[in-house]
Structure 1
Amino acid sequence: MRLQSEKIYLRAVESSDATRIMLWENNPSFWHVSETEIPFSLHDIHHFIENSQHFRQTGQLRLIICLNENDLPVGCVDFYDADFKHRRAGIGILIAEPENKEKGYASEAIRLLAKYGRDVFDFQQIYAMISVSNEPSLRLFEACGFEKSGVLKSWRKTGKNREDIAFYQLILEEL
């Protein structure tokens, strides 16, 4: 499977991605958005990759974002907490390196995954939960057509503080 747009394509996670994913998952600077608390082992990542074929059972699907020009993986995009009965899933995205941010890769990945979710899994909507302080992500999801439908007060613990989370939805039937 390969979903392609102007600058990027999305592909399935492969076993050769394990070390890269482990480095991304174990980078503490990303933990505040992924809610990770402890590092993952390479064994954990391999187990995750093996189970990635079972989206309907696990509710999570991760795809690798690669550049069309050179096949370089620059990040990943996920469906999580997929609910097939109610036709919805959460969406998360990571562009790993600062030099690859603000180049349109994330918005292309979100649009590709949204269309895939609608066309293949018959999702009616996808949602994102974003820290209100994460202004780049708020702008990204708004630019992709997501609408803020609420704020979860004091939802996430960050260090010794608590943070509000904005809840964004995209109704896919309107795409």
Structure 2
Amino acid sequence: MLTLTGDNIILRALEESDLEFLYNLENDENIWEISNTTTPYSKFVLKQYLENSLRDIYEVRQLRLVICLASEERALGFIDLFDFEPKHKRVGLGIIILSEADRGNGYASETLELISNYAFKHLDVHQIYANISEENIASIELFKKAGFELSGSKKDWIFSEGKFKNELLFQRIQS
């Protein structure tokens, strides 16, 4: 079985045809809090990002893949590996399923399992971590179900909508 292919999901590299989907995601103010974004992105900037997305994770310390529904080859969202530290054998993880209609169908769970297997097998990491706002109950449950454990809390870490919010650190450690 291919590491990035599951029963319902395929994780694939970014392509030029993803520009519109990426543009809609990056400019959705509803998710700026979790992506730490404060300004919109132009299509020009995102096109440049797509052109450079083929660079190796060992060089840029990041990898973004498109989450696709295998049966329709339709893009559902993105999964990001970031702050890759080969020396310390760790990598951060972020996931977004863009449409509310596609959430709650097990796609994110399958994606987390695929990307975790990939990171442990091909990147030889010892741990994967995720930073989640304590208000994001759905993500907390998703990561717990995927074997991530709560390791700590960063108090008043995110300032959004006129107030401070705590951010939780979850880790999945390969034994």
Looking at structure 2, the residues matched to 22 and 59 of structure 1 have their Cα atoms a distance apart, in angstroms, of 22
Residues 63 and 80, structure 2, Cα contact 8 Å, conserved in 1: yes
Paired letter, 1:161: K
Counterparts of 1:57-96 in structure 2, within 5 Å, are: 57-96=59-98
- The DSSP-based 3-state class of the residue aligned with 2:73 is coil
Paired letter, 2:139: S
Select 1:114's aligned residue among 90, 108, 116. 116
Tell me the equivalent position of 2:47.
46
- The DSSP-based 3-state class of the residue aligned with 2:84 is strand
Residues 66 and 77, structure 2, Cα contact 8 Å, conserved in 1: yes
Tell me the equivalent position of 1:35.
36
Looking at structure 2, the residues matched to 76 and 159 of structure 1 have their Cα atoms a distance apart, in angstroms, of 25
Select 2:153's aligned residue among 136, 151, 158. 151
Residues 10 and 63, structure 1, Cα contact 8 Å, conserved in 2: yes
Cα deviation code 1:104-144 (max 9, x no counterpart): 00011111111111111111111000000000000000000
Paired letter, 1:17: D
Gaps of 5+ in 1: none
Cα deviation code 1:28-54 (max 9, x no counterpart): 011111111000111211222222222
- The DSSP-based 3-state class of the residue aligned with 1:137 is helix
Counterparts of 1:11-22 in structure 2, within 5 Å, are: 11-22=12-23
Looking at structure 1, the residues matched to 166 and 3 of structure 2 have their Cα atoms a distance apart, in angstroms, of 36
Paired letter, 1:25: E
Looking at structure 1, the residues matched to 43 and 86 of structure 2 have their Cα atoms a distance apart, in angstroms, of 30
Residues 3 and 114, structure 2, Cα contact 8 Å, conserved in 1: no
Cα deviation code 1:117-173 (max 9, x no counterpart): 1111111111000000000000000000000000000111112111000000001x2
- The DSSP-based 3-state class of the residue aligned with 2:4 is strand
Paired letter, 1:15: E
TM-score normalized with structure 2 length: 0.95
Gaps of 5+ in 2: none
Tell me the equivalent position of 2:101.
99
Tell me the equivalent position of 1:130.
132
Could you tell me how far 1:2 is from its partner in structure 2? 7.2
- The DSSP-based 3-state class of the residue aligned with 1:3 is coil
Identity %: 36
Instruction: Name the count of aligned residue pairs.
Output: 173
Could you tell me how far 1:18 is from its partner in structure 2? 1.1
